[in-house]
């Protein structure tokens, strides 16, 4: 990718950031909602960890921190929707995707850049306030070293790419399905269950725990959380996340190629 292409995708990312920055009322409502749900989950976790201390290897402060990290990253990683996928699926359904394919830009990189811009805004606009609220009013386990925070941010960036890779595959299913609602809802359910949004994946017992921790969704919340909480080493976590990111992007490229051939066959 040349300098010109790099500037193009940087401009697309900046456009994605500015686009979501215009929705100030929606952002404020999202901050309020995340904070309220965070409170509900925190008191549930406090009761659970009081009954089962050190459940999943976390103490109570770590469990509370995990809750607020989840609320901070929910919109950032579009675990429950709200990303680019609905728009892309609609463009596929209406045939407007043909315009995208004629652009002098790579389709996958274009949407990746736009989604990274969206994710960065959500991280700054919706994640900081609920997390800060939780850190002020509840006992949390946060590192003091700047290096730990830097490693956490790298893990979050890799989580953004993994999240995009999963949702890009979901969006591309619209080339074969008349209605992608079912696939989207299944992806949301998998994301909530397998990322750790409901419970930390360390809590899951036996083979089930091993399986969910090996799936790509664990890169989205569990991996960054464990880096911040000091429960996992940064190099190994980065390698795990990067491996899934590359695999999903490569698979998305293959599916995109097949879908593009389908458009040509259909005369689109």
Q: How far apart are CA 173 and CA 93, in angstroms?
A: 11
Q: How far apart are CA 255 and CA 183, in angstroms?
A: 15
Mean pLDDT of 223-236: 95
| Closest C-alpha to 145, from 70, 66, 229, 225 | 229
Q: Which of 100-104, 206-210, 227-231 has the lowest average pLDDT?
A: 100-104
- What pLDDT sits at residue 259? 84
Both tokens assigned to 89: 């699926």
Residue in the structure block whose two tokens are 């790298």: 154
Share of the chain above pLDDT 90, in %: 69
pLDDT for 219? 96
pLDDT at 268 over 60: no
Residue 134, pLDDT > 70, answer yes
The reported pLDDT for the residue numbered 105 is: 86
Q: 45: pLDDT confidence band, cut at 50, 70 and 90?
A: very high
Q: What pLDDT sits at residue 265?
A: 39
Angular region, 179: left φ>0, alpha ψ -120 to 50, beta rest: beta
Question: Three-state secondary structure along 168-184?
Answer: HHHHHHHHCCCCCHHHH
Percent of the chain residues topping a pLDDT of 70 = 96
Lowest mean pLDDT segment, chosen from 55-69, 120-134, 152-166, 170-184: 170-184
Spatial contact of 221 and 195, defined as CB atoms under 8 Å apart? yes
Q: How confident is the model at residue 4 (pLDDT cuts 50, 70, 90)?
A: low
Please report the pLDDT score of residue 6 as a whole number: 83
Q: Is residue 262 pLDDT above 90, yes or no? A: no
How high is the pLDDT of residue 184?
86
Contacts of 130 (CB under 8 A, 6+ apart): 31, 34, 35, 38, 68, 71, 72
Q: What is the mean pLDDT of the chain?
A: 90
Q: Which two tokens stand for residue 103?
A: 């652009």
With CA atoms as reference, report the closest residue to 45 among 138, 161, 142: 138
**Helix, strand or coil for residue 96?**
coil
Task: At 266, give phi and psi (nearest 5°).
Answer: -80, -5
**According to the model, what pLDDT value does residue 177 have?**
83
- Residue 98: which pLDDT band, with cuts at 50, 70 and 90? confident
Please check the confidence at residue 49 and state whether its pLDDT lies above 50.
yes
Average pLDDT over residues 232-240: 95
Give the model's confidence band at 2: pLDDT under 50 very low, under 70 low, under 90 confident, else very high.
low
Among the ranges given (91-95, 98-102, 177-181), the one the predictor scored with the smallest mean pLDDT: 177-181
Q: What is the per-residue pLDDT for 266?
A: 43
């Amino acid at each position: 990718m040349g300098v010109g292409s790099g500037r193009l995708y940087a401009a697309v990312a900046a456009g994605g950031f500015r686009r979501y920055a215009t929705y100030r009322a929606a952002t404020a409502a999202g901050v309020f909602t995340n904070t309220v749900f965070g409170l509900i989950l925190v008191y549930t976790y406090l009761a659970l960890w009081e009954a089962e201390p050190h459940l999943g290897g976390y103490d109570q402060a770590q469990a509370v921190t995990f809750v607020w990290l989840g609320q901070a990253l929910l919109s950032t990683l579009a675990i429950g929707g709200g990303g680019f996928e609905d728009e892309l699926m609609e463009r596929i359904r209406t045939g407007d995707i043909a315009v995208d394919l004629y652009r002098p830009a790579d389709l996958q990189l274009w949407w990746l850049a736009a989604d990274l811009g969206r994710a960065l805004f959500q991280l700054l606009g919706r994640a900081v306030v609920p997390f800060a609220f939780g850190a002020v009013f509840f006992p949390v386990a946060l590192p003091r070293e700047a290096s730990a925070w830097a490693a956490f941010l790298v893990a979050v960036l890799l989580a953004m790419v993994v999240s995009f890779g999963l949702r890009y595959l979901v969006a591309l299913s619209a080339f074969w399905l008349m209605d992608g609602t079912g696939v989207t809802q299944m992806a949301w359910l998998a994301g909530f269950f397998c990322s750790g949004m409901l419970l930390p994946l360390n809590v899951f017992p036996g083979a089930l725990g091993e399986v969910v921790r090996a799936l790509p969704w664990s890169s989205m919340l569990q991996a960054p959380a464990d880096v911040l909480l000091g429960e996992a080493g940064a190099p190994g976590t980065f390698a795990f996340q990067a491996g899934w990111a590359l695999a999903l992007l490569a698979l998305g490229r293959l599916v995109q190629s097949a879908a593009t051939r389908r458009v040509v066959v259909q005369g689109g």
